[in-house]
Structure 1
């Protein structure tokens, strides 16, 4: 069997230097990224330090696709000390699929903010919800409804954790590090792998991890996944609506880091190139309440899981941004997934819709894992649906 990654190496030894450059043989007009991705660090700000008093506030929002992010930046004379000090701002909604050209003004309302790990200083990243011309939530603003649900169940002290899987792509749209005219060796050695023949993109992943920490996000960890060039990071535990805020911000940071490496991140649960015998990508969602976490809480875990079955079809429609169609490619009953059209649950069973971890069953308390959400899901929609089905 061939090595998992088949790389064509080219050694260039300039006569005037003793250094050796190891690169892929690549065509610049195909936008193939160098592997390894690590390059000499340069000061992209030309030595200019963050301004001592002003704040660059980068407003970030979800566009009309329900899965892509947009951003723009404004200067504030003093750093805001509370979220309501960020002014409502407008943008051209006709260019983001959220309005028509003849009436295009759409609005951004700040909902959470974080230190900017790229600009440093007083600068902030600002997560926003989108409002239409009447100051009502846009069609892809699922936060407003989820936040209303979270307020109603706040006395249950709901905690969430989400496991975000994604695939790294070269700029030609092909998975990073895959042979350009073929496929890697079958999956098996890549999950949590180590070594140049098993993983690709670790430089990017570690940079993203550090960016999340500097932004104050509750990033729990990261690991290489089953499909080569596929990775996962986990955010949580987060209380209530903050789960959606933090996951969207972590996605933004991942796109920004990848941008600097010349790499594309896709959250597509099953890109066409991986439609063969490769694992898809999900966003497994862990949920618990104070009652579930208390001694004897297993009965509350099981009761909540059973309440998810009657609303299975509605969950499936909300668990990806295209009414469940994206998830049909992934939830086939194979590759550690359940069937999209049937609800199931069990202990330590990764082929179920909802899994109760073995440790939870043994300890008699804890949480459950909803394995149905797609990797490109809106975390506001997912967490809102879980909370609503279990308690409302």
Structure 2
């Protein structure tokens, strides 16, 4: 299948055309009915929105976006997070939206609704912070193989690619750099980026984010990444094991802390308590951390390639092969955060964050501690 590659020079010519002050382009972005892909459409505002509340409700066809079937399928878009638009610059904005039925109830795929509701129960007491390390793989739009890989066969074995520098090692750096700068411009708290272990695989880190913002910021960062790939003629793959064999998979490790874990008085002890609670809910977490209820992530969580075994819970200090890793710096300082290394690269961050809140802070685990 051939892929059209944009002539960026021609595109920039039109994107540089001036607009009148009362013309503001705003793109509405939402997660579609698959829970995996993002959709968007744009409209012209007569003034610059300063918050999601300044963006009017809109609607779209649910049957054409994986939500439902039938002729009566109009769903509502409720703006919830506003960002600068790195593609149009100027006063243009991106607005992330929740999806609701016409009667005002959230659609089944709206995982943000329940996550935000649960966050409200713990925000005042524990002030949860999150960070996500999002891994992804670049695929050549023309060959449908990882970017820079030979058309037949495989590249050299893993080893020189992680944080690599140089031609043939850091494959797709231009896309990673474009995404990094675009996220900073958008106002997304992107903490950094690096080439990953498998060639053509990269990672970016979002956070620290408080509460529901971790889901909002990661979904918008994914949207920006996918659109940048579109302009480069490159597909962005979030499959947790895009290439079988002796190659690393892709995850979305999540870092989690609360007021108690960040306290020097009992921070490390609280982290260990949370880990035991997560141990008791390992099977439930595995289902939540993979949109296919563990069926995709099992290809990645094999106990090899810096992963734990999907059927066993483990934890350790600095152990990248554990389910939960306690960074060495956290042990040295006696406080900080834990790293849950089980989520798949295509996980829903709202569900992952919600589960950590449920299992660590809300559910009564007193009999299991």
Range into which the TM-score falls when normalised by the shorter chain? over 0.9
Equivalent residue for 1:144? 113
Question: Do structure 1's residue 177 and structure 2's residue 148 form an aligned pair?
Answer: yes
Of the candidates 204, 207, 229, which is equivalent to residue 178 of structure 2?
207
Q: Report how far residue 39 of structure 1 moved.
A: 7.5
Question: Do structure 1's residue 238 and structure 2's residue 209 form an aligned pair?
Answer: yes
Aligned pairs (5 A) from 1:259-278: 259-271=230-242, 274-278=243-247
Q: Report how far residue 38 of structure 1 moved.
A: 11
Q: Of the two, which has the highest radius of gyration? A: 1
Q: Report how far residue 313 of structure 1 moved.
A: 1.4
CA-based RMSD:
1.7
Unaligned runs of 5+ in 1: 1-28
Unaligned runs of 5+ in 2: 363-369
Equivalent residue for 2:158? 187
**CA 1:110 to 1:347, structure 2 compared with 1: closer, same or farther past 3 Å?**
same
Whether the 8 Å CA contact 1:241–1:380 is kept in 2: the answer is yes
Equivalent residue for 1:348? 318
Q: Report how far residue 32 of structure 1 moved.
A: 9.6
Equivalent residue for 1:312? 282
- Quick one: distance in 1 between partners of 2:21 and 2:351? 39
Equivalent residue for 1:229? 200
Figure out how many residues of one structure are paired with residues of the other and give that number: 359
Instruction: Render the CA deviation track for 1:241-288: whole Å, top value 9, x for unaligned.
Output: 0000000010011011111111110101112xx111000000000000
Equivalent residue for 1:282? 251
Q: Report how far residue 40 of structure 1 moved.
A: 6.1
Moved more, 307-316 or 176-185: 307-316
Of the candidates 338, 341, 345, which is equivalent to residue 368 of structure 1?
338
Q: Report how far residue 42 of structure 1 moved.
A: 5.9
Instruction: Render the CA deviation track for 1:315-336: whole Å, top value 9, x for unaligned.
Output: 1111121222111111111111
Whether the 8 Å CA contact 1:193–1:199 is kept in 2: the answer is yes
Equivalent residue for 1:337? 307
Instruction: Render the CA deviation track for 1:105-128: whole Å, top value 9, x for unaligned.
Output: 111111100111111222110001
SS at match of 1:168: strand
- Quick one: distance in 1 between partners of 2:293 and 2:105? 22
- Quick one: distance in 2 between partners of 1:389 and 1:46? 48
Please give the TM-score of this superposition, normalised by the length of structure 2: 0.94
Whether the 8 Å CA contact 1:354–1:368 is kept in 2: the answer is yes
